[in-house]
């Protein structure tokens, strides 16, 4: 009975988010902003409809992980090797420059501040490591909702996958350094690499199996059924690893779904892939609503009123790092002007992974440096609330300024005419 009530609470929250998203869209703002605000308003820090009992339940965690894998399909099915050969170098270089650029700028800014305030300088590197994190779901939901297509969109989608990898490697390298400096036991760097790249390897191997099966299916229904069955089996295997093998860490299910779908998308005919994605599109849209609610619900709106100068410095320095890091990478690889000018704006959403990284940082600092743990937790928690609202609006503007909103249908129509 208790689980049924929790499910009804979640479904009611999703229904409210959907309606608020529609209302917000009528104001020419991204629907995701409505979903995010609904998550905060109905989350445990406000009205409590989507409370801790729902969010901490095993069934919700399992559902959220499965839907993360589904959202990964949106990324992976765009990573078609034959189409990426020309832009692969550009995507890799730009991902590295925007990630490392963000890390360097945020670390440098906080390093200067902490030098004059007498705060340990290693804390600046931890702020820089957390700042790398980009939450792909907000920008992907804007792409999905606004039917965006064009150079910025086609660059962003594969970057959403690579950015998580680079960000995790740099962050855990910083954590390993700080842990050794403070003599705190932590995860080894090799173990960290395994955790970061394991979902990619697992997803790719299972995706190849799915590709072979899907090649031989005779109907669209059979193709979709076989894909979903193998994706479910892959996600359940990852959950087993999280529960029984990994300790203090968790595999990234969006990366898992991305690697899985990249593998089969490059193995089956385009007609089959298009048929799969037509059916999966509403499921992906539903999944994105739940993921955004899960980002918004833990955010405490009271933190907005307690935000200090460090929060403002963090938001601004991270935005500068993301924008100019992306600009430098795009310029170095001779990308189009629209990519150079507007890609950085689509990379500003942040909260989900940043809160995970913050929790890890706090656990490392809680014993040897509790005052630093409190500083980093308060700053990032407030920044997560403020930045996410601003970043969603700016990300949509980035697509709008690039002239890519509503272009997906036009691109699809042109591709059909070209094949005919």
Q: Which tens digit of pLDDT belongs to each residue from 220-277?
A: 889 999 999 999 999 999 988 888 877 655 777 877 888 899 899 998 888 888 888 8
Asked whether 76 and 265 are in contact (CB, 8 A), the reply is yes
Give the pLDDT of residue 325.
92
Q: Which of 108, 131, 130, 126 is nearest to 369 (CA)?
A: 126
Give the pLDDT of residue 103.
94
Residue ranges of domains in the chain: 2-419
Measured in whole angstroms, the distance separating CA 236 from the mean position of its chain's CA atoms is: 21
| pTM (2 d.p.) | 0.71
- CATH architecture, domain defined by 2-419: Up-down Bundle (1.20)
Quick one: tokens of 329? 């990478």
Pick out the chain residues at pLDDT < 70.
29-30, 82-88, 161, 180, 183-196, 247-249, 302-307, 351-353, 355-356, 359, 408-420
Give the pLDDT of residue 409.
66
* Backbone phi, psi, residue 16, to 5°: -65, -45
Give the pLDDT of residue 416.
52
Cα distance between residue 343 and residue 286, in whole Å: 26
Cα distance between residue 195 and residue 192, in whole Å: 5
Distances (CA, A) of 142 to 164, 310, 406: 19, 29, 11
Give the pLDDT of residue 417.
53
183: left (phi over 0), alpha (psi -120 to 50) or beta: left
Residue 396 exposure: Cα atoms within 13 Å on the Cβ side: 20
Q: Which tens digit of pLDDT belongs to each residue from 182-202?
A: 765 555 556 656 666 788 899
């Amino acid at each position: 009975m208790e689980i049924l009530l929790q499910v009804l609470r979640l479904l009611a929250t999703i229904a409210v988010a959907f309606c608020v998203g529609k209302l917000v869209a009528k104001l020419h703002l991204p629907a995701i902003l409505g979903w995010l605000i609904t998550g905060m308003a109905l989350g445990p820090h406000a009205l409590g409809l989507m409370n801790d009992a729902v969010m901490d339940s095993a069934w919700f965690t399992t559902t959220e992980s499965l839907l993360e894998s589904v959202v990964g399909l949106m990324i992976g099915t765009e990573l078609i090797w034959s189409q990426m050969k020309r832009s692969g170098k550009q995507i890799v270089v730009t991902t590295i420059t925007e990630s490392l650029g963000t890390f360097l700028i945020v670390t440098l800014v906080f390093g200067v501040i902490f030098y004059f305030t007498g705060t340990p300088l290693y804390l600046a590197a931890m702020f820089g490591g957390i700042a790398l994190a980009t939450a792909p779901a907000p920008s992907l939901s804007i792409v999905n909702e606004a039917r965006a297509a064009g150079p910025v969109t086609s660059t962003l989608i594969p970057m959403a996958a690579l950015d998580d990898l680079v960000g995790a490697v740099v962050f855990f390298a910083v954590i390993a350094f700080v842990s050794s400096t403070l003599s705190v036991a932590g995860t080894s760097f090799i173990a960290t690499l395994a955790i970061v790249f394991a979902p990619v390897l697992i997803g790719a191997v299972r995706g190849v199996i799915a590709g072979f099966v899907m090649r031989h299916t005779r109907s669209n229904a059979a193709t979709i059924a076989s894909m979903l069955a193998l994706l479910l089996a892959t996600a359940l295997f990852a959950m087993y690893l999280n529960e029984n093998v990994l300790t203090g860490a968790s595999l990234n299910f969006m990366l898992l779904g991305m690697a899985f779908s990249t593998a089969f998308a490059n193995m089956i005919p385009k007609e089959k892939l298009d048929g799969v994605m037509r059916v999966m599109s509403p499921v992906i849209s539903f999944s994105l609503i739940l993921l955004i609610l899960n980002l918004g619900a833990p955010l405490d709106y009271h933190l907005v009123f307690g935000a200090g100068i460090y929060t403002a410095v963090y938001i601004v320095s991270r935005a500068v790092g993301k924008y100019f890091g992306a600009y430098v990478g795009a310029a170095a690889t001779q990308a189009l002007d629209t990519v150079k000018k507007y890609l950085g704006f689509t990379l500003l959403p942040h909260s989900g992974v940043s809160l995970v990284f913050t929790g890890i940082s706090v656990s490392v600092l809680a014993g040897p440096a509790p005052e630093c743990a409190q500083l980093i937790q308060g700053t990032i928690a407030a920044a997560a609330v403020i930045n996410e609202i601003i970043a969603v609006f700016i990300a949509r503007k980035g697509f709008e300024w690039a002239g890519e909103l509503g272009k997906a249908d036009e691109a699809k129509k042109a591709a059909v005419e070209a094949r005919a």
